[in-house]
Amino acid sequence: MNRRPLVLGLASLALAPLAACSKKEEAPAAAPAPGRRVSPIEAYAIAQRGSGFTVGAVMAANTVYVFFDTTCPHCGELWKASQPLLNRLKMVWMPIGLLRPQSGPQGATILAAPDPAKAMSENEASVMARGGGISVPSNLPDEVLQKVKDNTGLFNQLAAESVPLIVYRNAQTGQHGMHAGAVDTATLASLAGV
């Protein structure tokens, strides 16, 4: 009879490290983002200055911003979880260079692609299959590489340490917030108020 809560507790502990990717291995993934020192409204304003690609309902009441690293499997989980909501949610995915040397160039490859959403899907499928992610062309424009560097600077302004970092305004309540780590579809819908 007491076994079930123990099993659920262990399952929760086992899943906790899967929430986010961090460059600092000692940082617990389930901890609140250190970026909380920036007010949620300020965080939203900072995120609006980023460069990314937009997916979803262009005329949605609000926008959810996601800072992501191309080598993070948790970002891939969030990408997958967001797909059912794209008919009522607008999302801007902003690549940063955080985890590996190829993160920045791969992020720039996605931004420079004729169809960034397709390139993102290709990258995430590769990462989820434990591949190396999208191939980087040798002729990436410097200005696109700079956009990823600038996004990384914005991410650092938020004092965040892990990706994915979701910056949102709830469409129902108007409340702003940030969430570090992947979430399922229902939780993303709840954060965004859709």
The CATH classification of domain 29-192, taken from the options 3.40.640.10, 3.30.70.2190, 3.40.30.10, 3.10.129.10: 3.40.30.10
- Kindly give the interhelix angle for 116-128 and 103-112, rounded to the nearest 10 degrees: 140
Domain boundaries, the chain: 29-192
The model carries a pTM of 0.83
Tens digits of residue pLDDT in 72-121: 999 999 999 999 999 999 999 999 999 999 999 999 999 999 999 999 99
Percent of all residues in the chain with a pLDDT value above 70, rounded to a whole number: 83
Task: For the chain, report the end-to-end CA distance as a whole number of angstroms.
Answer: 38
pLDDT attached to residue 24: 53
